[in-house]
Amino acid sequence: TAENADPLFITWYWVRDDPEEGERVLVGSGGITSSPVPGTVLIGYSVIEEFQRRGYATEAVRHLVPAVFSLPGVRQIVATTYPDLVASIRVLEKNGFVSAGEARGGEGFEEGTAIYVLKRPGAPV
């Protein structure tokens, strides 16, 4: 219901112009949602396979981070990925995220996923 909707649930779609076809093509998507941890927003992204490893995810996250930090009260952004998704880990690291270890049961994340955190510059620890 609308009264239970997450006000921080926002989704983006990344498109690019395809000069050969003369139309716009979906490259990937990303989004955010709130977290049970105060001041924390969760971020996620996905790039369609044919556009992977071309820097689209890195660029998209680079643009999403300031938008997320412009939201009131956001002090940190958290992302999770699978430890074997080296390209996804590199996207996060290139954007300043640091490893916060591996998720264990009961944390609200899938067990075994790698957790990465980016703190807002100047935010209290």
Write out 61-115 in H/E/C secondary structure.
HHHHHHHHHCCCCCCEEEEEECCCCHHHHHHHHHCCCEEEEECCCCCCCCCCCEE
pLDDT tens-digit readout, 28-40: 999 898 888 889 9
User: What is the reported pLDDT for 29?
Assistant: 94
68-83 pLDDT, tens digit each: 999 999 999 999 999 9
- How far apart are alpha carbons 53 and 74 in whole angstroms? 29
Integer Cα distance of 116 and 113 in angstroms: 10
Measured on CA atoms in the order 89, 90, 92, 98, is the torsion positive or negative?
Answer: positive
Q: Averaged over 103-120, what is the pLDDT?
A: 84
Domains recognised in the chain with CATH numbers: 2-119 (3.40.630.30)
CA 15 from chain centre, in angstroms, equals 17
Q: What is the pTM (predicted TM-score) of this model?
A: 0.85
Work out the average pLDDT over 82-101: 95
Per-residue pLDDT at 116 exceeds 90: yes
What is the mean pLDDT of the segment spanning 79-92? 95
84-103 mean pLDDT: 95
Q: What is the pLDDT of residue 2?
A: 61
What's the confidence (pLDDT) of residue 19? 80
